[in-house]
Amino acid sequence: MSYEKKLLAMKKMVKKKTTVPAEQLRYKKPAAPVYSDLWEQAGLSRIDNEFGTVFVREVHYALDYQHGAYQLGDFLEALATWREHEHPIALTDERPIVFYDTETTGLKGTGTHIFLNGLLLFDEHEFVLKQYILADPSHEAAFLFESRFWQEQKMVLTYNGKSFDWPQLEMRWTFHRNTLPPLKTPHHIDLMHSAKRIWKQELARMTLSEVERQKLGFIRDGDVPGYLAPAIYLDAVRTGETNALLKVLTHNEYDLLSLVTLYVQETKLLTEGVRNESAKAYTNIGKWYKDLKASDASLELLRDITHLYDVDEAAEASFYKGYLLKKRGDFQQAYDCFLLCTPYVNERQRLEAYTELAKLCEHRLHDIEAALRYTQKALDETTQSICYKPHAKEKRIDALTHRIRRLTNKNVL
């Protein structure tokens, strides 16, 4: 058969496009689950909206409610603090504040459903917990609708929510884009990112439960491990049994309450200066302000660290302080900071400190012999170093070798 005849034969096999009548495209509301009465008897309230059935647990918390080391009302003080400071985690506008956490039937994939939408809503007088539970996958549109994320734009605070919770919500919403109102994009603060900036290299794990235990004074008692939540939910849908499901709700409740106290703790650390944390945590904060170009706040904090902690604990603070002082033109003080930190900082920072010392000696302090000495130290250690990738290491050795030749010629002249 010729090529042309094959094409003609294939065209005949292609079905004509058919249109589905508009009435068939309309959303068909599913029937309420058979276990609805059992879930209501367990204390879950039932909501029937135009898309189906949703179950909700609602709890109100007074501002004097204690969770770990803090009362929830301390959040008001944190809000007031940010009126006088600027920072990426500041909450300064009038949008509704929602602490948000989900539980899902898996970690990824289009078959993964959110089965629990946990929202902790804040107003001036109380916090209100609303935990929406997916009746079953056929009621997903009803479940998503009740979150009200399609209404006005909100301030959403999560823990790892930018990587997991919110993308999951967006994906599930996409499946119902022809049914639900459009999802509003919130102003999103992920407190896991800020926790990592503050406690980097200090906490072995950055799970929320570890942060609770180490930093927030809250230890979970009888908590259900998160990895069991999908199986517990699926069993509750299959049997109507809610005892284990209610424990999953408690797990989610702890997560949300800890988001409030974590925000309070982070606010205090970022705005109150050196108090009760480690030198490492405050150094991380000082570096964060440095990265944000807030050099005054960074330098003030780093100075306090070098004055209040032992030299080995404050070595990294001294390292970053050297860069800020150099930028301000305080070259002798910058030199002193870099020199002081070299015995204590990590290998990469020590090599950078030697290079900075060489630059200061050559260009600002006019001591060519000292510049040559520090450059040689940097070259010797770089040659033996394992902290650079081969190409970066070779490039650095070439630059240091070139500097030594130039400094040698300067010294001779």
pLDDT band at 26 (very low <50, low <70, confident <90, very high): confident
Residue 107 amino acid letter: L
Looking at residue 18, its pLDDT comes to 45
Indicate if the alpha-carbon torsion angle 244, 250, 256, 262 is positive or negative: negative
Hey, what are 179's tokens? 């049914």
Looking at residue 161, its pLDDT comes to 97
Cβ-Cβ contacts under 8 Å for 324 (sequence gap 6 or more): 290, 295, 298, 299, 302
Looking at residue 411, its pLDDT comes to 80
Distance CA 380, CA 361 (A): 19
Residue identified by tokens 């030697």 is: 354
Q: Which of 130, 119, 122 is nearest to 73 (CA)?
A: 122
Q: How many helices (H) and strands (E) does the chain have?
A: 17, 9
- What average pLDDT does the segment 374-379 reach? 97
Given a cut of 70, whether residue 228 has pLDDT beyond it is yes
**Digit-coded pLDDT (tens) for 29-51:** 999 999 999 999 999 999 999 99
Distance CA 38, CA 298 (A): 57
Question: H-helix or E-strand containing 306?
Answer: helix 295-308
Looking at residue 16, its pLDDT comes to 47
- What average pLDDT does the segment 368-379 reach? 97
Domains and CATH numbers, the chain: 36-271 (3.30.420.10), 279-412 (1.25.40.10)
Question: H-helix or E-strand containing 248?
Answer: helix 243-271
Distance CA 53, CA 50 (A): 9
Looking at residue 281, its pLDDT comes to 97
Residue 39 amino acid letter: W
Contact 295, 327 (CB under 8 A): yes
**Residue 6: how many other CB atoms lie within 10 Å:** 10
Largest CA-CA distance found in the chain, in angstroms, rounded:
94
Contact 192, 211 (CB under 8 A): no
Backbone angles phi, psi at 92, to 5 degrees: -125, -5
Given a cut of 90, whether residue 90 has pLDDT beyond it is yes
Given a cut of 80, whether residue 12 has pLDDT beyond it is no
User: Which of 74-79's residues contact partners 24+ apart within 8 Å by CB, and which partners?
Assistant: 74/261, 74/264, 75/122, 75/260, 75/263, 75/264, 76/124, 77/264, 78/263, 78/264, 78/267, 78/268
Q: pTM for the complete prediction?
A: 0.90
Q: How do 66-67 and 70-71 pair as beta strands?
A: antiparallel
Looking at residue 4, its pLDDT comes to 57
Instruction: Compute the CA torsion angle 58, 61, 66, 67 (nearest 10 deg).
Output: 30
Backbone angles phi, psi at 248, to 5 degrees: -65, -40
Residue bearing the bigger pLDDT, 110 or 291: 291
**Residue 339: how many other CB atoms lie within 10 Å:** 17
Distance CA 89, CA 190 (A): 8
Q: How far is CA 159 from CA 201, 362, 386, in A?
A: 19, 47, 34
Residue identified by tokens 């204590």 is: 344
Distance CA 166, CA 101 (A): 9
Contact 46, 33 (CB under 8 A): no
Q: What percent of the chain has pLDDT above 90?
A: 87
The packing angle between helices 347-363 and 368-384, to 10°, is 160
Between 22-26, 54-58, 307-311, the lowest mean confidence (pLDDT) is in: 22-26
Reported in sequence order, the residue ranges of 90-147 that DSSP labels E, i.e. its strands, are 97-104, 114-122, 126-134
Q: Which of 218, 223, 198, 296 is nearest to 258 (CA)?
A: 218
Over the chain, what is the mean pLDDT? 93
